[in-house]
């Protein structure tokens, strides 16, 4: 009953913390002790970024520091189901924010890459969507070939001179961390993106999948086909929760009346769960300030639960 261990334990295993993180309570710590005799070792770890500055820099509302805690709170309420039996999960706590956004990104990149080197899979709870840059680049550094998905209504390929939540995928593309043909923007709303950035992405050969396509073919079916056609050795899934319509996810930094349904975003999480090459799953842009009865945090937790499941 690993979830119960996480929920009830507030102790740290001696000598097992990961550099660059701050423990949270409740949390079950393992870190470098995964290979200790008698310790089964976790399949998944998660960390969280308690503070990012990227959101405000684009003019959208901030992704406040309470977002990871609210998602955790919702996640810890789930019981163990048959889809999670045998799951080993370790909460690494919060990545320590640096003096600058770049310093915070460097710290997060180091934590994610360290876990990947141990052969583990990683869930990251944001925070603003700027963290897609350190999360995805960490995976790119550890696998020979990468397939990346931005589940979002925004392209996030702004040409701004300073990093923010609108720039991560342009950084990843220009630095060669992701190849255009192996990068897919899923859930895009044409009215939420500049024509110049749509032309930029499509001109590079990025897969841009608009709401109309997802509604016609099915969101899960579209992503499943892309995954099955890829020979990549690692897969990154970034779930920006403002991809979901505000009626079902009001607590995001940039709510919109148009977007995916909760069912559709969960279908995509099921695709992530079904492929063993999925190595990093990221949740961003939850904003508890705008939430209604915690519904968005609970939806984000449900996405994580489904991404961690087997046999869904």
The domain ranges of the chain are 2-308
**Mean per-residue pLDDT for 194-198?**
95
Distance separating alpha carbons of residues 155 and 189, to the nearest angstrom: 9
Gap between the terminal Cα atoms of the chain: 19
pLDDT-derived band at 36 (thresholds 50, 70, 90) equals: very low
**Mean per-residue pLDDT for 124-129?**
91
Percent of the chain with pLDDT over 90: 68
Judged against a pLDDT cut of 50, whether residue 226 lies above it is answered with yes
Judged against a pLDDT cut of 60, whether residue 293 lies above it is answered with yes
Other CB atoms within a 10 A radius of the CB of residue 159 amount to 12
Residue 221 near residue 132 (C-beta atoms within 8 A): no
- Among 33-42, 134-143, 276-285, which stretch is predicted with the lowest mean pLDDT? 33-42
- What angle is formed at CA 144 by the lines to CA 178 and CA 308, rounded to 5 degrees? 80
Give 155's DSSP letter.
Answer: -
pLDDT-derived band at 58 (thresholds 50, 70, 90) equals: very low
Residue 147 near residue 118 (C-beta atoms within 8 A): no
Distance separating alpha carbons of residues 237 and 215, to the nearest angstrom: 20
Residue 279 near residue 122 (C-beta atoms within 8 A): yes
CA 247 to chain centre: 22
Judged against a pLDDT cut of 50, whether residue 285 lies above it is answered with yes
Judged against a pLDDT cut of 60, whether residue 162 lies above it is answered with yes
Q: Residue 311: what pLDDT?
A: 57
Judged against a pLDDT cut of 60, whether residue 184 lies above it is answered with yes
Range 244-277 burial, b when 16+ CB lie within 10 A, else e? bbbebbbbbbbbbeebbbbebbbbbbbbbbbeeb
Distance separating alpha carbons of residues 299 and 296, to the nearest angstrom: 5
Judged against a pLDDT cut of 90, whether residue 6 lies above it is answered with no
- For 91-118, the pLDDT digits (tens) are 888 888 889 999 999 999 999 999 999 9
Highest mean pLDDT among 49-63, 65-79, 258-272: 258-272
Domain 2-308 sits in CATH 3.40.800.10: yes
pLDDT-derived band at 160 (thresholds 50, 70, 90) equals: very high
Q: Residue 24: what pLDDT?
A: 53
Cα atoms found within 13 Å of the Cα of residue 134, Cβ hemisphere only:
32
Range 96-111 burial, b when 16+ CB lie within 10 A, else e? bbeeebeebbebbbbb
Q: Residue 60: what pLDDT?
A: 47
């Amino acid at each position: 009953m690993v979830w119960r261990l996480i929920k009830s334990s507030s102790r740290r295993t001696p000598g097992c913390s990961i550099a660059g993180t701050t423990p949270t309570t409740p949390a079950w710590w393992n870190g470098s002790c995964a290979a200790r005799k008698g310790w089964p070792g976790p399949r998944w770890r998660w960390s969280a970024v308690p503070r990012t500055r990227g959101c405000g820099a684009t003019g959208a509302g901030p992704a406040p520091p309470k977002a990871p805690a609210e998602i955790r709170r919702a996640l810890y309420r789930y019981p163990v189901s048959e889809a999670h039996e045998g799951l080993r999960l370790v909460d690494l706590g919060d990545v320590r924010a640096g003096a600058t956004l770049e310093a915070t990104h460097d710290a997060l990149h180091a934590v994610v890459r360290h876990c990947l080197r141990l052969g583990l899979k990683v869930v990251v709870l944001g925070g603003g969507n700027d963290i897609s840059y350190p999360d995805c680049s960490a995976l790119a550094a550890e696998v020979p070939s990468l397939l990346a998905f931005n589940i979002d209504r925004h392209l996030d390929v702004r040409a701004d001179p300073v990093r923010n939540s609108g720039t991560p995928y342009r950084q990843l593309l220009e630095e060669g961390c992701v190849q255009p043909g192996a990068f897919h923007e899923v859930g895009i709303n044409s009215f939420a993106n500049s024509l110049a950035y749509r032309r930029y992405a499509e001109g590079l050969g990025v897969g841009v999948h608009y709401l109309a396509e997802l509604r016609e073919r099915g969101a899960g079916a579209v992503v499943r086909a892309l995954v099955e056609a890829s020979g990549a050795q690692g897969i990154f899934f970034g779930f920006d929760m403002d991809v979901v319509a505000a009626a079902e996810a009001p607590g995001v930094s940039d709510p919109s009346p148009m977007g995916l349904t909760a069912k559709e975003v969960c279908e995509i999480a099921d695709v992530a769960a079904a492929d063993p090459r999925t190595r990093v799953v990221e949740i961003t842009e939850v904003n508890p300030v705008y939430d209604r009865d915690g519904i968005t945090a609970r939806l984000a937790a449900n996405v994580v639960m489904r991404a961690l499941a087997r046999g869904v």
